[in-house]
Amino acid sequence: MAGPANRSDNSVVWDWIIEMTLTWGVWIATGSLVGLGLIGTIVPFLPGHLLIFGAAFIPFFSLPERGGLEWWLLVALGVGLIVAQVLEYLSGAVCSRWFGGTKWGAFGAFAGGIVGLFFMPFGLLLGPLIGAAGCEWLFAKKTATPATVSGVGSVIGTVAGLVLKMVVAVLMVVVFAIDLFWL
**Residue-wise pLDDT tens digits, 68-116:** 788 898 999 999 999 998 887 788 778 878 888 788 888 888 888 888 8
Question: Both ends of the chain: CA-CA distance in Å?
Answer: 49
Over range 26-43, report the average pLDDT.
91
> pLDDT band at 6, cuts 50/70/90?
low
Q: How far is residue 79's CA from residue 150's CA, in Å, rounded to a whole number?
A: 30
Q: How far is residue 178's CA from residue 173's CA, in Å, rounded to a whole number?
A: 9
Residue 7's pLDDT is 55
Question: Is-contact 101 109, C-beta < 8 A?
Answer: yes
The parent domain of residue 37 ranges over 3-181
**How many domains does the structure of the chain reveal?**
1
Those residues whose C-beta lies under 8 Å from the C-beta of residue 49, and which sit 6 or more positions away, are 37, 40, 41, 80, 81, 84, 85, 165, 168, 169, 172
Q: How many Cβ atoms are within 10 Å of 106's Cβ, its own excluded?
A: 26
Question: Is-contact 69 179, C-beta < 8 A?
Answer: yes
Q: How far is residue 50's CA from residue 41's CA, in Å, rounded to a whole number?
A: 10
Q: How far is residue 70's CA from residue 137's CA, in Å, rounded to a whole number?
A: 52
Q: Can you give the pTM of this predicted structure?
A: 0.76
